[in-house]
Amino acid sequence: MSNKLKLDLTEKYYEDALKVIPGAILGIRRPYNFVPGEYPIFFEHAKGGRVTDVDGNEYIDMLCAYGPIIIGHREEEIDNAVIEQMQNKGFCFSLTQPIQNKLAEKVIELIPSAEMAVFVKTGSDATTTAIRIARANTDRTKVMRCGYHGWHDWCVEVKGGIPEKFYEDVYEFHYNKLEELEDLMKMHGDETAAIIITPVGHPLADKVQMPAPGFLEGVRALADKYGAILIYDEIRSGFRFDLGGAQKVFGVIPDISVFGKAMANGYPIGAVVGKEQYMKVLADNVFLSSTFFPNSLEQVAALKTIEILERDNVLDVIKAKGTVFGQKLEEIARKCDYDIEISGAPFMPFITFNKDPQNLYKKLRPGFYTELIRRGVFLQPFHHGYVAYRHTDEDLQHAANMIEESLGELKKYI
């Protein structure tokens, strides 16, 4: 039996925030994306693989800030490198510091599609830059998209405040549905500047998918057939599936790729990398500039993060832990009385409740995540989780046990 969490301070801060910030918190962190009244709304601190809310409740953090935390929270080696840069050199200048060259050389060394690189701050910055590069290279307008690519006008799902003209040339197809892309390209291929796709499928609020045999190869072939530029959105998969991204794992190489999240273990940075013939339009034909894009703290953090990922074989460790965790979840699912599905292991585990004719899943899902948060495991009902390096074997075993316990409590919700 689990008790409701004490969330007095979190509710107070939420009420305070509502008075000064529209919706209190931005976007995906708002309470309705979790279980309102059951989940904390404000965190206080974190360390390693655990996070503590403002009321003092501690959780195994399996959402990992929606992906940036690849090693762990408050990694001293990374933070110390950043502090040293801040104290001894500074980080925000009218000109650029040479550390950008080191980071560019490193990502070019690691990522198959990278011959040149530029750095931005966010994933949305990166995807939008990639689309601008593609349109400039092809003198075409239309874009075929598959997956979540950020909040900018051309790709955001919620259209409030955005004139239709800003996204009328963007067409969606679904992951592993090559025939949808084939049909779109038959209609629009000669006007298509780019095909942008997440090489690992992670649709909004749906299970994580790996590419079906021939899917990525088929996308690559269609881009080549119609002269479109193929872009991989590796914001989530990059520096997690492999240091070279999912493209290195699957062996189908795009023209341009975008990276972010795990690249700097929480520091805000994004990268756009690609073949020189396409990237060079940024030198004179495409404008890309921001006061903060060249700031060096994030570049220092990225270099140090990549150094640790290489030195300590971090991704191999995560894969091993995540594989065991996924196997435990599969075993739990097989014994479960409800129609649940496990996807995304070893790197991005997700427990989803399949739709049923009676719509019981709408009660089972919040019920399950209510029980789980009460047991100290932080996951999100509509978004896959992550396995981090600092998650111990004991953390993951406990998480699996609590998942099993929580599923066992669901009768009372229906």
Helix (H) or strand (E) holding 192: strand 192-197
- Are residues 387 and 398 both part of a single domain? yes
pTM above 0.85, yes or no: yes
Pairing of strands 50-53, 43-47: antiparallel
Q: Decide if 1 is inside a domain.
A: no
Last residue of a domain, one of 311, 329, 350: 311
- Are residues 80 and 171 both part of a single domain? yes
Residue 149 CA, chain-centre distance (Å), reads 10
CATH number for 376: 3.90.1150.10
Q: Decide if 3 is inside a domain.
A: no
C-alpha distances (whole Å) from 7 to each of 20, 49, 57, 346, 389 are 21, 21, 9, 32, 29
- Are residues 277 and 137 both part of a single domain? yes
How many Cα neighbours within 13 Å face the side chain of 107? 33
d(C-alpha 141, C-alpha 194), whole Å: 8
Last residue of a domain, one of 311, 335, 360: 311
Task: Report the percent of the chain where pLDDT is more than 90.
Answer: 99
50-98 pLDDT per residue, tens: 999 999 999 999 999 999 999 999 999 999 999 999 999 999 999 999 9
**346 prior amide bond cis, ω within 30:** yes
d(C-alpha 399, C-alpha 411), whole Å: 20
- Are residues 295 and 327 both part of a single domain? no
Q: Could you say which DSSP state residue 228 is in?
A: P
Domain count, the chain: 2
272-316 pLDDT per residue, tens: 999 999 999 999 999 999 999 999 999 999 999 999 999 999 999
CATH number for 201: 3.40.640.10
195-211 pLDDT per residue, tens: 999 999 999 889 999 99
- Are residues 153 and 259 both part of a single domain? yes
- Are residues 16 and 83 both part of a single domain? no
- Beta-sheet strands, E only, within 339-394: 340-343, 350-353, 377-378
- Are residues 268 and 345 both part of a single domain? no
- Are residues 103 and 175 both part of a single domain? yes
CB-based contact 141:191 (threshold 8 Å): yes
What percentage of the chain's residues is helix, strand, coil (to nearest 5)?
A: 45, 15, 40
- Are residues 149 and 187 both part of a single domain? yes
